[in-house]
């Protein structure tokens, strides 16, 4: 596909379980971003990748959150020991370059519900 | 600390009317101000963007007005249509483009 693809589209899990969310960026896009969108809120920045490295992890809310990117393509966001406050839509975006001249293209997100 | 404040939280406009959404920012280092449109169940999509060296940018029915001294910018949707009903987010960024978003405005255009 031509756009950013995220999977799964929906995930329901029990409190305390680990979850892994996947993002396939647009081919050739070197910059990749993860955001969290809580109900009725704006998008909250989590982490940014340039290639396979993460120059900015400042938005990760706790050490239960981690992310990696391999092969300058797919990225996974892992949440360990999930809590109810982790319930949100997790959005991934990619851009050709990490530059404000390059628009960020978003996927449709993973809706995570913690029971 | 919220760096981009957006208002109103929700807005109802009649078809054909003008929708106006306002944002204010605090960080004077911001140098790029995009607006995103989000439909339910979809990711945000870039609508229009402006840089602080211009005071206005127009694309079709969508116009951004920018006031650098007041640190404010706004989105105007002319001749609003029911298909414009969505949530709109303003955002701001500097440097390598980590976006700081407003909390969003839910727009409903009544037929």
pLDDT along chain A (115 residues), means of 10: 90 97 94 92 90 88 94 93 96 86 90 96
**Residue of B65, B60, B43 whose CA lies nearest to A36:** B43
Examine the pLDDT at B1 and tell me if it is beyond 60.
no
Report pLDDT for A4.
96
Chain A residues whose beta carbon lies within 8 Å of the beta carbon of residue B4: 42
Report pLDDT for A86.
96
Tell me the per-residue pLDDT of B10-33, one tens digit each, with 9 for 90 and over: 999 999 999 999 999 999 889 899
Quote the CA–CA distance of A75 and A34 in Å, as a whole number.
Answer: 9
A56 vs B6, B34, B98: nearest CB: B98
Does A68 contact chain B (CB < 8 Å)?
A: no
Residue that wins the pLDDT comparison between A23 and B93: A23
Quote the CA–CA distance of B66 and B77 in Å, as a whole number.
Answer: 15
Chain A residues whose beta carbon lies within 8 Å of the beta carbon of residue B93: 100
Report pLDDT for B2.
59
B43 vs A42, A95, A109: nearest CB: A109
In chain A, the DSSP E strands lie at 5-7, 10-13, 19-24, 31-37, 43-50, 53-56, 65-69, 75-79, 88-95, 105-106, 110-114
Compute the average pLDDT of residues B1-14.
90
**Residue of B105, B87, B106, B102 whose CA lies nearest to B30:** B102
Report pLDDT for A55.
83
Q: How far is A81 from chain B (nearest CA, A)?
A: 26
Does A22 contact chain B (CB < 8 Å)?
A: no
Cross-chain Cβ contact B96/A42 below 8 Å: no
Instruction: Give CA angle at A102 (B22, A26), nearest 5°.
Output: 115
Does A1 contact chain B (CB < 8 Å)?
A: no
Report pLDDT for B99.
86
Report pLDDT for A98.
76
Residue that wins the pLDDT comparison between B98 and A85: A85
Report pLDDT for B34.
93
Tell me the per-residue pLDDT of B29-60, one tens digit each, with 9 for 90 and over: 898 999 999 999 999 999 999 998 999 999 99
Chain B residues whose beta carbon lies within 8 Å of the beta carbon of residue A105: 46
Chain B residues whose beta carbon lies within 8 Å of the beta carbon of residue A31: 96-97
Cross-chain Cβ contact B98/A91 below 8 Å: no
Q: Which residues pair with B38 in a beta bridge?
A: B87
């Amino acid at each position: 596909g031509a756009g950013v693809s995220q999977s799964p589209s929906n995930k329901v899990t029990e409190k305390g379980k680990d979850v892994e969310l996947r993002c396939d960026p647009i081919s050739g896009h070197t910059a990749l971003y993860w955001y969290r969108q809580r109900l009725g809120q704006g998008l909250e920045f989590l982490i940014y990748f340039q290639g396979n490295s993460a120059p900015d992890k400042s938005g990760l809310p706790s050490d239960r959150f981690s992310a990696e990117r391999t092969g300058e393509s797919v990225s996974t966001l892992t949440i360990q020991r999930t809590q109810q406050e982790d319930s949100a839509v997790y959005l991934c975006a990619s851009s050709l370059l990490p530059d404000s001249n390059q628009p960020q293209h978003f996927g449709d997100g993973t809706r995570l519900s913690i029971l | 600390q919220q760096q981009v404040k957006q208002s109103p939280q929700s807005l109802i406009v009649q078809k054909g009317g003008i929708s106006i959404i306002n944002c204010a920012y605090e960080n004077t280092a911001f140098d790029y101000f995009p607006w995103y449109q989000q439909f339910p169940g979809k990711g945000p999509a870039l609508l229009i963007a402006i840089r602080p060296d211009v005071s206005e940018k127009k694309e079709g029915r969508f116009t951004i007005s920018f006031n650098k001294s007041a640190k404010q910018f706004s989105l105007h949707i002319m001749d609003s249509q029911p298909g414009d009903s969505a949530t709109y987010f303003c955002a701001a960024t500097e440097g390598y483009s980590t976006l700081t978003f407003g909390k969003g405005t839910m727009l409903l255009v009544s037929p």
